[in-house]
Amino acid sequence: MTEHTLTVAGVAVDTRHWIGGRRVASAETFTDVSPIDGSVIGEISRGTALEAAAAVAAAKAAFPAWAATSRAERARILHAVADGVEKRIEELSIVETTDNGALLRSHRRGVMPRVAHNFRFFADWLLKLEHEDFETRGHTNHVSWDPAGPSVLITPWNAPLMLATWKVAPALAAGNTVVLKPAEWSPLTASLLADIAAEAGLPAGVLNVVQGYGSEVGDALTSHPDVRRISFTGSVPTARRIAESAAGNLTPLSLELGGKSPLLVFADADLDLAVDLAVEQYDNAGQVCLAATRFLVEESVAEEFTRRFVEKAATLTQGDPRHETTDIGPNIHPRQLEKIDAFVQRALAAGARAVIGGHRKDTQYYAPTLLTDVAQDSEIVQEEVFGPVLTLQTFSTEEEAVRLANDTRFGLAATLATADAERAERVTAQLVAGTVWVNCFFVRDLQAPFGGSRHSGVGREGGTWSFDFYCDVKNTVTAPNGWKNHG
């Protein structure tokens, strides 16, 4: 072990940046704290404009060779990265649980296998990426996807490695080089990913990892003139700052932002299913951008729905996310916990009623909360809390349900519970959302478009949409019979 290596639950993690195929330390560090118990994990290299410039320069230098690498070879290396992830699922799982507090059992069974799948999916999609040639007055049109160049990927803390690789995998598959800036509250698995990628044979400079604060290193990355694409997942205020930073260079952006998604429960719905869907919104301590945090329930079944919800929620176990029986872990940081509680206390002061919860459990955990008697124009209904806090309102008609569902500035997702197929078709057609789930939740396929409407984002990624973003899409038109015969 060296001064730049942490041991996290028995796993060695390098605390330095990964730039141009080597580890680079910064003069300053920032403190990484575990949300499980508030203990200090260690000191992490704190990037500045200096490290940002070095990372972009490394990505720029590596770009021509990586862009010229055949699709088959790029795909082979991405599959090798997936192999490396699968060999280290246990290590990645325990490090990420320590770092961001999400359930260890979820990391082992779902999240880390999905990380490997991200690489495999985009490697395979690359090999079949094509558009059928078409004719225009005898001329042949041929569509191709040209790598765009160095890409800056800025990722959140709620699902650090999965959401990072959701961006890294298609960017690399497209032939771009990458500078990854993980969230400062959960940087550790990004460092491990750099090791895995290097071991898989990814050339130096193709993937770079720079840690630190957005105001110190993020701005330097997003304003850099050599950056050709920026993809960001996070909050609306940060997205505005990134957009302003990128505007000077007209750098294309993909933004997946906040949500205030509704769960619409109609009287004809299977109430047991609806309650299961509702309780699922406490997943990851409510720190899920897609969560349906606003319950809209038809008046005639609202009382029964609420009774069953309270009973079901009472069976959840909140505590140490490393324990197999835990259902809800801690919130990421004391600052986030304070923000969550401030939202709830302001709502209670304004007349809301806490059916369950409504308070902190301690300095790391917030009690699962359901608030009723909330006005549509209230802060708690309109603004993203990003914690285990849900609201319940009622409606009497389908038209009212749609109106309430659409009456926020967001449009990331929506969930609908009904037994009427025609109603489902009518309602989903009117909902403003990038994803709508009918009688299910969180069913995600990488070939589907993903993104938000309104303040929930700009653009779509997934399948071919990812390559459309990370590439310069070119159309080549060739005249008929224009070739000389060189015999």
Q: For residues 189 and 199, what is the distance between their CA atoms, to the nearest angstrom? A: 15
Q: At what angle do helices 71-87 and 188-199 cross, to 10 degrees?
A: 120
410 to each of 12, 232, 414, how far by Cα in Å? 41, 17, 11
Q: Who's near 463: CB < 8 A, 6+ residues apart?
A: 125, 446, 447, 448, 449
CB 265 within 8 A of CB 295: yes
Q: For residues 409 and 459, what is the distance between their CA atoms, to the nearest angstrom? A: 16
For 258-275, letters b (16+ CB in 10 Å) and e give bbbbbbbbbbebebeebb
Burial label for 319, CB within 10 Å (0-12, 13-18, 19+), is middle
Q: For residue 475, list its beta bridge partners.
A: 143
Residues recognised as catalytic: 256, 289
User: At 301, phi and psi to the nearest 5?
Assistant: -120, 5
